[in-house]
């Protein structure tokens, strides 16, 4: 398996040598995301739809907390996509109508504006997202203006639609967990999930190292993580292993992230193929995300997929898991390139406010990296 790569100018059909030098993500208010609905008329009465407004919390964590408050399975709460954590975001979620409440106002989120709808939200069921982003403490405003003039001309053409680093989790190992799940190496997948660390604080890192040292003593492992709010999913897995010490498959099935891990591997392969497509200037509109329904590939990229699958000892059929359907993924076609909609900006002293819209499945942080060099080293969306 190849390592995740950092994106460079050569991975794009254009490059900007002199980027804007400024601070991104200085505070949540600097990164505002609003979901743009792409669904048809959804008038009905089977589900309740809410607006979820959140700040400094991931979609996963907000949904988990909502489920806990309502005493329901988090899988009953549906949404169209994950929104950034260190940001202010707004999106729609749905619940079965029997779980209707007026609203919830928590520390980092609110759900409000309930209304009846005929169908629940689904991943990808949106057009995209609109963004308003502040770049602060710009070092040279005159150069920044020149960059924006050139950049607005460049983005009138298509931009490669890579998956961003957040697709693979804070520890950048989601695709590796997914690969082991596909191979039915359930204990190996569980060990990577529970013990590998990276980009985490010292306390969480120490907890993971202790779990590795005491692997199999699940009651002791539970004590290492029960005080960490960020290790809720790890606690779910370990509590199952306390009851059934060798049942790693079902322990991971209970993990709300299990399907994301499978898709992370497909995303990893997609990025590798797209990088080659850009390098060789192939005219391809869509690239497959591997799954059990993906059987044919464009002639220009079929050899790329064959090489990766042989190297990782994977076949498309392994994406179908009859015994554990949570580890299945049918795959789909993903647009290889995208167009930025309604790009605009204003400058206020040494701060630039950027406004633009991106279609679903695109990553704003990768788009920003094309023309901004973030000097706020404490806050980077990697």
Q: Of the ranges 71-75, 218-222, 334-338, which one carries the lowest mean pLDDT score?
A: 71-75
CA distance 330 to 288: 11
pLDDT mean across residues, the chain: 92
What would the two tokens of residue 83 be? 């929104």
CA atoms within 13 A on the CB side of 114: 15
327: nearest Cα among 292, 303, 356, 360: 292
pLDDT tens profile 223-254: 999 989 889 999 999 999 999 999 999 999 99
Q: Which comes out higher in pLDDT, residue 291 or 164?
A: 291
Q: DSSP string spanning 105-140?
A: E-SSEEEEEEEEESS---TT-EEEEEEEEEEBS-S-
Is the pLDDT at 40 greater than 70? The verdict is no
What would the two tokens of residue 310 be? 């042989």
User: Residue 229: its pLDDT value, please?
Assistant: 83
Is the pLDDT at 105 greater than 70? The verdict is yes
Which residues are CB-neighbours of 46 under 8 A, at least 6 positions away?
Answer: 96, 97, 116, 117, 118, 119, 120
Strands 20-22 and 372-374: parallel
Fold classification of 34-126 (topology level): Alpha-Beta Plaits (3.30.70)
CA distance 48 to 186: 36
Residue found under tokens 């029960």: 226
pLDDT tens profile 18-28: 899 999 999 99
Residue found under tokens 């609110």: 110
- How many other β-carbons are positioned within 10 Å of the β-carbon of residue 46? 12
User: Residue 157: its pLDDT value, please?
Assistant: 80
User: Residue 378: its pLDDT value, please?
Assistant: 59
Through-space distance between the first and last CA atoms of the chain, rounded to whole angstroms: 20
CA distance 58 to 149: 34
Strand, helix or coil for residue 155: coil
Q: DSSP string spanning 312-335?
A: HT--GGGG--SS-GGG----EEEE
What is the pLDDT confidence band of residue 382, given thresholds at 50, 70 and 90?
very low
What is the pLDDT confidence band of residue 381, given thresholds at 50, 70 and 90?
very low
Is the pLDDT at 181 greater than 60? The verdict is yes
* Cβ(239)–Cβ(262) below 8 Å: no
Which residues are CB-neighbours of 88 under 8 A, at least 6 positions away?
Answer: 28, 29, 31, 32, 33, 53, 54, 55
Give the domain ranges of the chain. 34-126, 162-338
Q: Tell me phi and psi for residue 138, to 5 degrees.
A: -65, 130
What is the pLDDT confidence band of residue 151, given thresholds at 50, 70 and 90?
confident
* Cβ(234)–Cβ(247) below 8 Å: no
As to burial, measured by CB atoms within 10 angstroms (0-12 exposed, 13-18 middle, 19+ buried), residue 156 is: exposed
């Amino acid at each position: 398996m190849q390592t995740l790569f950092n994106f460079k100018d050569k991975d794009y059909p254009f490059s900007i040598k002199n980027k804007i030098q400024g601070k991104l993500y200085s505070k949540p208010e600097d990164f505002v995301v609003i979901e743009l609905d792409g669904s048809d008329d959804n008038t009905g009465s089977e589900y309740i739809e809410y607006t979820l407004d959140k700040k400094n919390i991931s979609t996963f964590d907000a949904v988990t907390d909502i489920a806990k408050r309502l005493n329901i399975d988090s899988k009953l709460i549906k949404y169209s996509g994950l929104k950034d954590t260190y940001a202010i975001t707004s999106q729609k979620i749905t619940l079965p109508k029997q779980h209707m409440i007026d609203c919830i106002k928590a520390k980092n989120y609110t759900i409000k504006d309930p209304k009846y709808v005929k169908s629940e939200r689904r991943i990808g069921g949106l057009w995209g997202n609109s963004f308003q982003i502040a770049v602060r403490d710009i070092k040279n405003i005159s150069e920044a203006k020149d960059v924006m003039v050139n950049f607005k001309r460049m983005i009138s053409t298509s931009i490669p639609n890579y998956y961003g680093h957040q697709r693979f989790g804070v520890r950048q190992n989601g695709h590796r967990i997914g690969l082991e799940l596909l191979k039915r190496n359930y204990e190996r997948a569980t060990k990577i999930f529970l013990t590998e660390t990276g980009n985490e604080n010292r306390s969480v890192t120490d907890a993971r190292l202790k779990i590795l040292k005491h692997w199999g003593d699940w009651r002791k492992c539970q004590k290492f993580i029960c005080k960490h709010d960020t290790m809720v999913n790890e606690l779910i897995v370990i509590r199952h292993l306390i009851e059934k010490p060798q049942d790693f498959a079902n322990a991971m099935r209970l993990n709300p992230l299990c399907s994301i891990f499978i898709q992370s591997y497909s995303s990893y392969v997609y990025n590798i193929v797209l990088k080659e497509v850009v390098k060789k200037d192939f005219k391809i509109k869509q690239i497959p995300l591997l799954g059990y329904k993906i059987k044919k590939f464009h002639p220009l990229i079929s050899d790329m997929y064959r090489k990766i699958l042989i190297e990782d000892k994977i076949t498309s059929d392994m994406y179908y898991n009859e015994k554990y359907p949570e580890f299945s993924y049918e795959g789909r076609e993903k647009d290889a390139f995208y167009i930025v909609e309604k790009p605009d900006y204003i400058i206020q002293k040494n701060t630039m406010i950027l406004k633009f819209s991106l279609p679903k499945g695109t990553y704003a942080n990768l788009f920003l990296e094309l023309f901004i060099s973030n000097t706020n080293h404490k806050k980077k969306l990697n």
